[in-house]
């Protein structure tokens, strides 16, 4: 994640020392990837009742978390500190944060509504929900967050081809998620569960459908970013648009993790 001022490492000698701040730029590491794989191992082990897989996932998660913390501490002790010009939060990025905050409150209301409606539902279709399929779909969406990170890292290095490639992968993964969700909806419709069938169906389709709409908007957003990238709108010195897109996409992923946990697993 980039913080204000972290993208511009040049120092203007005309500024006073008070206008500079010392920041630590951590080096790249693969431990977060192993952390995610360990988490997925736990999830799939519990879902499929493969306890050795769940135990192995927990071991990988704990090992990667400890190693990640250890390497970060070592980096802070031994890597040089860089100086960057302190910059105010960009107004466009601030607007995106405010928008995501409002959407977070809206999703919170939908989740609370779902929990209330589920407790009052006379018919509960959770026995026909395909949890393994949805778990795989969750992994697809989480993988798309990785491709967004790789897209931003590519353009920060001036690699426009890498930016376009990873944005294309993000669009494909997002579209795959929507396709699997449409397949799930079709199955539920065939079982007689619709938005108007009962309180559970109303709450379920309202919550997951609203999230699906956000994913669809994100895929369109991603395609627009790809088009802008082809036209040379981004470079290693100008990539704020990619960062803002990443904020939106990561928000959508985090919300889905909450939905998957509350709707399918609990």
Work out the pLDDT band at 191, boundaries 50, 70, 90: confident
Report if residue 247 sits inside a domain.
yes
Q: What is the pTM of this model?
A: 0.68
Report if residue 53 sits inside a domain.
no
Report if residue 138 sits inside a domain.
yes
Query: What CATH number should be reported for the domain holding residue 135?
Result: 1.20.120.80
| Predicted confidence (pLDDT) per residue in 21-34, tens digit | 444 455 566 677 77
Provide the β-strand partners of residue 238.
235
Amino acid 13: pLDDT: 41
What are 201's two structure tokens?
């169906």
Report if residue 26 sits inside a domain.
no
164 to each of 30, 113, 235, how far by Cα in Å? Answer: 22, 39, 12
Report if residue 50 sits inside a domain.
no
Higher pLDDT, 82 or 239: 239
Report if residue 29 sits inside a domain.
no
Q: Give the phi and the psi of residue 8 in degrees, each rounded to 5.
A: -110, 105
Report if residue 79 sits inside a domain.
no
Number of domains in the chain: 1
Domain that residue 249 falls in:
89-265
Least confident interval from 2-11, 71-80, 112-121, 224-233: 2-11
Work out the pLDDT band at 192, boundaries 50, 70, 90: confident
Contact criterion met (CB below 8 Å) for 62 and 34: no
Report if residue 1 sits inside a domain.
no
């Amino acid at each position: 994640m980039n913080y204000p001022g972290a993208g511009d490492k040049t120092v203007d000698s005309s500024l006073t020392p008070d206008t500079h701040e010392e920041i630590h730029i951590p080096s790249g590491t693969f431990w977060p990837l192993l952390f995610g794989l360990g988490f997925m191992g736990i999830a799939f082990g519990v879902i499929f009742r493969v306890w050795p897989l769940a135990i192995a996932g927990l071991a990988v998660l704990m090992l990667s978390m400890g190693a990640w913390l250890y390497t970060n501490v070592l980096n802070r002790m031994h890597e040089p500190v860089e100086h960057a010009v302190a910059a105010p939060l960009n107004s466009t990025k601030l607007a995106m944060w405010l928008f995501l905050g409002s959407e977070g409150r809206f999703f919170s209301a939908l989740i609370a509504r779902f929990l209330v409606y589920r407790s009052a539902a006379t018919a509960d279709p959770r026995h026909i929900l395909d949890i393994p399929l949805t778990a795989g779909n969750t992994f697809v969406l989480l993988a798309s967050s990785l491709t967004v990170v790789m897209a931003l890292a590519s353009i920060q290095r001036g690699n426009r081809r890498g930016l376009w490639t990873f944005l294309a992968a993000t669009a494909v993964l997002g579209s795959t998620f929507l396709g699997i969700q449409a397949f799930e909806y079709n199955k539920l419709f065939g079982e007689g569960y619709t938005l108007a069938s009962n309180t559970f169906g109303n709450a379920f389709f309202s919550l997951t459908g609203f999230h699906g709409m956000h994913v669809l908007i994100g895929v369109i957003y991603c395609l627009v970013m790809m088009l802008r990238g082809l036209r040379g709108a981004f470079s290693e010195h100008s990539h704020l648009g990619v960062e803002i897109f990443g904020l939106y996409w990561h928000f959508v992923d985090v919300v889905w993790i909450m939905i998957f946990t509350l709707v399918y697993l609990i």
